[in-house]
Structure 1
Amino acid sequence: MTQKIVVKVTMNGEKSRSKALQIVVGLSGVESASLKGDDKSQIEVTGDGFDPVKLTSKLRKSVGHTELVSVSAVGGEKKDEKKVENKDEVKPAAYVWPYNQPLYVYQELPSYGYAQHHDPCAIM
């Protein structure tokens, strides 16, 4: 799903703007990034499969105060039609191991022919 986010970043000059854009474009899944707003303090990012929270935390660490303004999905009607068609198909359920069950299987060891009350003492 392609998404469009707008991030407001406190940037002092051209150097911090280019640094912020480098960080944004360096993330995997980002298709485009552009400056937006009157004072060019907002970055509009469009892409697929990237985490907006991860993006804002990286910008906070390297550039300055960062605020996530909006997150919205971008897509046409064709994608919605495909989703409706695929809803009729039955997907197999994934098996989840219950938490109260052990992850091992108990198995008794073979006795190798010894009697249960085998007494090693021959005198008694």
Structure 2
Amino acid sequence: MKRKIVIKIQTECEKCRKKAMMVAAQTSGVNSVEMQGESKNQMVVIGEGIDVAALAKSVRKKIKNASLEIVQQL
């Protein structure tokens, strides 16, 4: 089943955002990754069979200030 996962990233650094997007894109089952929000601080990940906890943990390893906001079935 397809899921939409929103992870809030608390950083102003463009390089840090790109690192977070690369980590998410390399995760198994991810179809798309994009930054949203007025200050581009929300990473939206869409895919099937994604382990949400593992995704959030791997993003936190690269970006210290990341929190899981929304997990939604599509």
1:50 deviation in Å? 0.9
Q: CA RMSD in A?
A: 0.8
1:68 aligned to 2:58?
no
1:16 aligned to 2:16?
yes
* Structure 2 unaligned blocks of 5 or more: none
1:11 deviation in Å? 2.1
1:20 deviation in Å? 0.6
* Structure 1 unaligned blocks of 5 or more: 75-124
CA displacement, residues 23-81 of structure 1 (integer Å, 9 cap, x when unaligned) = 0000010000110111101000000011111111111111121111111111xxxxxxx
Q: Once the two structures are aligned, what percentage of the paired residues are identical?
A: 35
Q: Which has the higher contact order (CA 8 A, sep 6+)?
A: 2
If you compute each CA radius of gyration, which structure gives the higher value, 1 or 2? 1
Residue type at the aligned position of 2:31:
E
Instruction: Name the stretch that deviates more: 30-39 or 10-19.
Output: 10-19
Number of matched residues? 74
